[in-house]
Structures are given as structure tokens and as C-alpha cells.
Amino acid sequence: EPEVTQTPSHQVTQMGQEVILRCVPISNHLYFYWYRQILGQKVEFLVSFYNNEISEKSEIFDDQFSVERPDGSNFTLKIRSTKLEDSAMYFCASSEEDLDTGELFFGEGSRLTVL
Amino acid sequence: RKEVEQDPGPFNVPEGATVAFNCTYSNSASQSFFWYRQDCRKEPKLLMSVYSSGNEDGRFTAQLNRASQYISLLIRDSKLSDSATYLCVVNGRGYNKLIFGAGTRLAVHP
């Protein structure tokens, strides 16, 4: 069964460092997303991406965050200068269609710990 | 008011019990509704979509009341493997993002 894959599974970094989280969405999917979940809290939307551009972003997704689809398969989330409060599980997701009709498939997540 | 609100639980039930979860949402423009399941430290996985007419999938039944902006999930004959957090999720028309509730934790014991 096709799946969304994410790397790394866990990253520990120092405050102020740049982090890149990588995702390979399901190959025929057109819509890509990043969500995050702080430990013990709810899953929060960060950004959606379609046709090589951001289609929506939340208030959390400030200038410290960026996304990129550098080639035909990878979808990355970059945090420029990490803060303690960026510690969370980051989930990449993809869908074949928009979410009015399509199902969202999540990767297993990348746990980011900022020290 | 929170966009999606759920009773956090935990619901502790014996095997074989019937348990019901409720959820309310604030955006009357929301068009798509789902229940997701999340196991501890794992990714959310779609359990079922929720349709206006109500729908059933085996032991799971979902209901939607648009007038009250209320969604429910009923689990019959609970199994140990049903232990997880159940997430109520909505999507608004024109918005390509899902809004998650904080989840209701279910613990099924022998």
C-alpha cells in the first residue's frame, strides 16, 4: 500500500539552528500538507501546498517556516531558527484531491526536540 | 468557542461495551466531517467519513446534525484494540485544510 514517508523520525537540535524535515508524499497525489502536534495537544494545521505554491497557511506558519518541493518527489519543511516551542511532532500528509472529496494520508511523523 | 470541541475523556470501558463520543464544531460553513483514530505517538488515521444521513462501518456508527453542529461516533462491542484517541475533524468549504479536535481518549479493559 502506498504511503507517505518522512525523515528523520527524530531530530534533536539546539535553539537557533535550522532544521529541514523531509517528506515523500504518495506518488500520484497533488496536494501536500504539514501539520504539527505538540506533546499532549491537538493536531494543528501549518500549511497546504498545491501546484508548486502555498495554498493556505496558518498563523503558526510565520516567516521562520518555509516549504519547498525541490524535485518531483520530496516535500520539505524548513524552520530557519528553531525555538524551544517548536518542539513537536511534525506530520506530513498528502491527498489525491482537495479535501472536499479527498482523503488525507499522514506520514508517521518527525519528532523535533529543540534544546 | 473552539473550532472543534470534544470531551477529552478518558472513557474507561470493559470489553463488549458500547461507547459514544460527541463533538461540536463552530463553523456553520463546514462541509466535510471525519473521525480519525490516533494511537499513542502515532499518526492520525482515517476511521470514517461522516455523512448527513449517518453512516455505519461494522461496529462503528457516525451521525451528523448540521442544525446543532454536532457529530457523534458510536462504537459497539468494544475491543481491546479500540483503545486509542478518537479525533473529530472538520473541513470548511473552500478551505483545503482539516481542523482537528483535541480528541477523546478511549481505554478498553478486559
The 10s digit of each residue's pLDDT in A34-51 is 999 999 999 999 999 998
Whether A107 and B43 lie within 8 Å, measured CB to CB: yes
Predicted local confidence at residue B1, as pLDDT? 73
A57-83 as b/e: b if 16+ CB within 10 A: bbebbeeebebebeeeeebebebeebe
Query: Does residue A97 have a pLDDT over 90?
Result: no
| Distance in angstroms (rounded) separating the CA atoms of residues B102 and B20 | 16
Task: Assess contact for B50 and B39: CB atoms under 8 A.
Answer: no
For B34-80, write each residue's pLDDT tens digit: 999 999 989 999 999 998 888 999 999 999 999 999 999 999 999 99
Contacts of B90 in chain A (CB under 8 A): none
Whether A31 and B96 lie within 8 Å, measured CB to CB: yes
For B32-46, write each residue's pLDDT tens digit: 899 999 999 899 999
For B89-103, write each residue's pLDDT tens digit: 998 656 778 999 999
Q: What is the DSSP string of A28-39?
A: T--EEEEEEE-T
Tell me if chain A has a CB within 8 Å of the CB of B9: no
Beta carbons within 8 Å of A72's beta carbon, 6+ residues apart: none
**How many CB atoms are closer than 10 A to CB A8?**
13
Whether B45 and A43 lie within 8 Å, measured CB to CB: no
Instruction: Compute the nearest-CA separation of B95 from chain A (Å).
Output: 8
Task: Assess contact for A22 and A32: CB atoms under 8 A.
Answer: no
Query: Does residue A1 have a pLDDT over 80?
Result: no
Whether A99 and B98 lie within 8 Å, measured CB to CB: yes
3-state SS record for chain B: CCCEEECCCCEEEECCCCEEEEEEECCCCEEEEEEEEECCCCCCEEEEEECCCCEEECCEEEEEECCCCEEEEEECCCCHHHCEEEEEEEEECCCCCEEECCCEEEEEEC
